[in-house]
Amino acid sequence: MAIPKLVPFTLKIDPKDQRLVKMLCAKDDSIDYQYQLLDSAVAWAFEHRVSLMPIAPQRNGVSKSYYICESTELLLHLQSFWNCNTTRALHTALFHFLRARAAVVD
């Protein structure tokens, strides 16, 4: 089995969102690694890109490294579509994805 190529990003996100990432990974049996959740977030954001607006990192956020694997091309498309850098595109994708998933979980 080939080792996946992980692409690192440092995101500044709220500690509550960091806990939500961990919780969603623990609850979803289809997710073995956090990068799979972030890949899902990028794919979801790509599908909803027209209705989403890029957002700035959260002021009270804490820097943490996250990785993506299979969604690098989609992330580049989001970067171009939203006219922002890749870190902001990933942050935006994760932020909106977490809100959408949290609404479903509640």
- What was the pLDDT predicted at 57? 84
CA distance 57 to 4: 27
Q: Which of 2, 16, 13 is nearest to 65 (CA)?
A: 13
For the chain, the domains span 20-26+36-44+64-106
Q: What is the pLDDT along the chain (106 residues), one digit of tens a residue?
A: 566 799 999 999 999 999 999 999 999 899 999 999 999 999 999 999 999 999 988 888 899 999 999 999 999 999 999 999 999 999 999 999 999 988 765 5
Say what the pTM is.
0.91
